[in-house]
Amino acid sequence: MRGRALSLWQSGDYRQAVHAAAVKLNAETQNRRGRKDVSEKDLFRQAFTTKAPEPGKSRLRLMADDGSPT
């Protein structure tokens, strides 16, 4: 995920680096969830919902809070 964004960041093109990282994150989330039929906003809203998964609408699970600052 870091390739293009990292090189842009290192060259000082921060705006483009953040954009490239966001585009890559969106594409990876679409691929992992098998969902290319929803907008970015809905993709992440559905991915991180606390509701149970529905058929054809997988979700990502958040880690339990371990007290870590990360």
**Per-residue pLDDT tens for 24-62?**
988 888 888 888 888 888 888 888 887 877 887 777 777
- The verdict on pTM exceeding 0.75 is no
The pLDDT, as a whole number, for residue 47 is 80
Angle between helices 14-33 and 3-10 (to 10 degrees): 170
Map out the domains of the chain as residue ranges.
Answer: 3-37
Residue 63 in this model has a pLDDT that exceeds 90: no
The pLDDT, as a whole number, for residue 1 is 46
The pLDDT, as a whole number, for residue 14 is 95
3-state secondary structure of 54: strand
